[in-house]
Amino acid sequence: MSTQKATARKARPPGAVRAVKQVAEVDWARVEEALDARGCATLERLVTPAECEALAALYPEDAVFRSRVVMARHGFGKGEYKYFAYPLPDGVAGLREALYPRLAPVANRWNTAMGIEVQYPESHAAYLERCHAAGQVRPTPLLLRYEAGDYNCLHQDLYGEHVFPLQVAILLSEPGRDFTGGEFVLTEQRPRMQSRAEVVPLRQGDAVVFAVHHRPVQGTRGVYRVNLRHGVSRIRSGQRHTVGVIFHDAA
């Protein structure tokens, strides 16, 4: 290892180092199989309870964020979320950097199957350079807060011309203790068929990786695209926090 690389590794904040280790421990063969089959996969215990609580506690700290969105004002649902500002919290930045190279091969394989020419570089830094060159310079990782009666309508997080086709949501709260209801929901619309719904059970610290927009499905006459949207069902009681890790930046 060169001195430069060794210095860079030593300079990594502790949260980023932990993120790299946690991502490396995931069974990525299982994740790829689930993504191909259903368009989503669970990463169990990706984040520790202490890290979950620390991230959720950031919500009142306005200096950490670039903007706040009240969903009811825009017809997005009910509840609110905040987009992190750069520099991202080290744990969020570390997860974004560590997850991307695990997902880029899936994204490239899916685009090839769907006849899409776009391919993604190996490193997230290189991909962000592509986004920023196109004017997509605003960070997109976000922290969401839901209370009783809140929900998130089915949607897609696109933000501009450059869209990485997979993203990750990490549940920071514990179902049954901190909140009830609030299930993560994914719907898939196949051509000339009714929509299929997938409800993904999560515990505190679990993450779900899922298709942002569309994914390939093998049919009897070849591969076709299916369209996906995601959301959160109504919170029945308590408070629910989630971190969203989106890999493309916004225009």
Q: Which residues of 40-66 are buried (b: 16+ CB within 10 A; e: fewer)?
A: bbbbeebbeeebbeebbebbeeeebbe
Residue pointed to by tokens 């093998």: 218
How many structural domains compose the chain?
A: 1
**Mean pLDDT, range 53-72, rounded to an integer:** 97
159, part of any domain: yes
Which contiguous run of DSSP H or E holds residue 167?
Answer: strand 166-171
Confidence (pTM)? 0.92
Instruction: Give me the CATH number covering residue 196.
Output: 2.60.120.620
Mean pLDDT, rounded, of the chain: 93
pLDDT band for position 11 (cuts 50, 70, 90): low
Q: With 50 as the cut, is the pLDDT of residue 39 above it? A: yes
The reply to whether 250 falls in a domain is no
Q: What is the pLDDT of residue 221?
A: 83
Tokens of 50: 């202490």
Residue 7 lies in a domain: no
Q: Average of pLDDT values for 227-249?
A: 98
Tokens of 170: 């990490």
What pLDDT score was predicted for residue 76? 95
Q: Is the dihedral of CA 97, 102, 107, 108 positive or negative?
A: positive
10 Å Cβ neighbour count for 25? 10
CB of 90 closer than 8 Å to CB of 16: yes
Range of the domain at 100: 14-245
Query: pLDDT-based confidence at 1, cuts 50/70/90?
Result: very low
Q: Would 45 be classed as within a structural domain? A: yes
pLDDT of residue 19: 84
